[in-house]
Amino acid sequence: MQSSNAQQEPTTGAAQAIVDMMQRRGVAPLPRNYEIFYEASAGSDAGLREAVERLGPRPAQVDLDQIAHRFFAQSSQAGIVDNAHQALMHKIEAVMELLRRERASLEKYGIILDQTSAGLNKRHEVTTELLRRIVSIMACATDTTIAQGRQIATSIADTSAELAEVKAKLTEYKVLADTDALTHISNRRAFDRAMAEIYGDTKKVMFSALILADVDRFKEINDRFGHPVGDKVLQQIARILRTSVNVNVFVARTGGEEFALIVEGLTEEGTVALADEIRGIIERTQFSPVGQQAAVTVSMGVCMATEANGPEDFYSKADQALYASKAAGRNRVSKYPTATPGLQRKNWMIYRTD
């Protein structure tokens, strides 16, 4: 989000404005597409803005994917996850094939035993020569089965070791694909998934809240001190967010200078208090790249999940509260609804099953 004078700030949520723009241009409502248009309008990457401006009125998805691959590291990391997952499936299939071979070997051995038993039952006289032949057949079958079993066991052990290595790499790639490269907290991709999970569980809806935080006048920080300093400020804010919350709070950088916290188990008053505590910590922090030359503050917006009817509505309403904080002078916390006459609240209690 661009930090401009309060009089110039939009009265509607930036998120909804971007969604509306995407709809007008015929862009599919995918998280990666949203990230492209969000960063193009709110970020400081001139190359990204030019690439988006060169797109036609109804851009093809392949052109959008090329932009995502070029400007966003996590897009290529998601492809690495798919490749690692495919390798994992190949290893699992190899293990299954070894087990099928072992079962076939045991079945063949069982057939030999059945045939030998049937042959003995049909003969009234058991001669020494017959016993020798039976012993020879059984010895050969047993040795073969044991050898095959040892070979298969060795192959399974080797393949299992490779399987464990592929699984470890897959886990690593998944973490990378869900991590913001600059701040090392969760990225927009992971945030969108966490938001969707809330509305797939009635209990989560009842006890979840969203806090959006936006760095005040961040463009001025970049213009005055340079983008490397701006990046350092974002990294320090991310560290504050990580260390100021407990395990029931999901922290993400959702784009540009905006961060989001999904809170579970707190009341509206408790969520607002948590947001204000974080705001105060950031206000009192001396940011090393900036020092005493400029104060770094954040504006915050809070919305409870029960106030919305889905992830997009949830985000949009928290964003409205955030802009209320901006319009009121920045460096403060506002909650939704701020001043919305005639608001119809959705009663999520009707969905309770316990």
Kindly report the number of other CB atoms within 10 A of residue 27's CB atom.
Answer: 21
Alpha helices in 210-310 (DSSP H): 218-225, 227-244, 268-284
Nearest residue to 238 via CA among 210, 267, 215: 215
**What's the farthest any 2 CA atoms get from each other in the chain?**
110
Q: State the pTM of this model.
A: 0.55
Residue 256, CB-side half-sphere exposure with 13 Å CA sphere: 29
Task: Give me the tens of pLDDT residue by residue for the chain, a chain 354 residues long.
Answer: 444 343 333 334 566 777 778 888 888 777 677 778 888 877 667 888 888 888 888 888 888 888 887 777 554 455 555 555 566 666 666 666 666 666 666 666 666 666 666 665 655 555 566 566 666 666 665 666 666 666 666 666 666 666 666 666 666 666 677 888 899 999 998 999 999 999 988 889 999 999 999 999 999 998 998 888 999 999 999 999 999 887 789 999 998 999 999 999 999 999 999 999 999 999 999 887 776 677 899 999 999 999 999 999 999 999 999 999 999 999 999 999 975 433 344 443 433 334
* Cα radius of gyration rounded to whole Å, the chain: 31
> Angle at which helices 61-71 and 46-53 pack, to 10 degrees?
170
> Strand 298-304 vs strand 258-264: parallel, antiparallel, or unpaired?
unpaired
What distance in Å separates the CA atoms of residue 213 and residue 325, rounded to the nearest whole number? 10
Q: How high is the pLDDT of residue 14?
A: 63
Contacts of 263 (CB under 8 A, 6+ apart): 208, 209, 210, 211, 245, 248, 249, 271, 274
Nearest residue to 81 via CA among 196, 167, 193: 167
Which token pair is 206? 């009842």
**H/E element, 298:** strand 298-304
